[in-house]
Amino acid sequence: MLLFRRTGVVFALVVSLIVAAAPADAADRPAFNRYSAAQLAQQILALRAAGRIGIYDYSARKAADRRDRSLASQQLADIAAGRRVNLSRRCHGGRLVRIRPDIRILRFLADLGANHGRYTINVLFGQCHSRRSLHYAGRAVDLRCGLKVKRADASALLWGVRRNAETCRRHYHWHYSVGGR
């Protein structure tokens, strides 16, 4: 009985230390939970105007992607206006594909810009990726090198987003996605 009491006390102490050291979850950030995709995109664009977020608008063929409205800045403007976003026609056999982004990516981007320092978006949902890319499902973003990765990883975990193996050393960007691949 004495061993159980001691073990129980130790167990309770360990659990309380782990809980206290664990990062806050998304429920502790209610502001981002209550916003719509349009409101989050508006916040991201406001953070861009304030210099907290950069948008590089990476594209292999910028003129064609500008016409398609598939550049990251255009996609955010469309989301902010309540519209679906366009994927690049050149990556989809000439077809115009429209998607709705996963709100967790937008929550991650807004939280990262508001609370964790400056970063730059290279690609949201446009550009050419592998056939089953999470970008095409509105569930991934590529961020420019120079990002404070530990801070970004902590923010990502709050919103169900993860960084995968695409790194600056190998791919010249950091890839974050819902689903983590």
| Each residue's pLDDT tens digit, 80-112 | 999 999 888 888 788 778 889 999 999 999 999
Give the H/E segment covering residue 118: none
- Whether the per-residue pLDDT at 136 is higher than 90: the answer is no
- For 103-123, give one letter per residue: b (16+ CB within 10 A) or e: bbbbbbbbbbbbebeebbbbb
Contact 88, 58 (CB under 8 A): no
Residues 6+ apart with CB under 8 A from 167: 174
pLDDT, the chain, mean: 81
- Whether the per-residue pLDDT at 46 is higher than 60: the answer is yes
Of 47-61, 114-128, 134-148, 160-174, least confident by mean pLDDT is 160-174
pTM (two decimals):
0.79
Sheet architecture: strand order including 119-123: 53-55, 119-123, 140-143, 174-177, 162-163
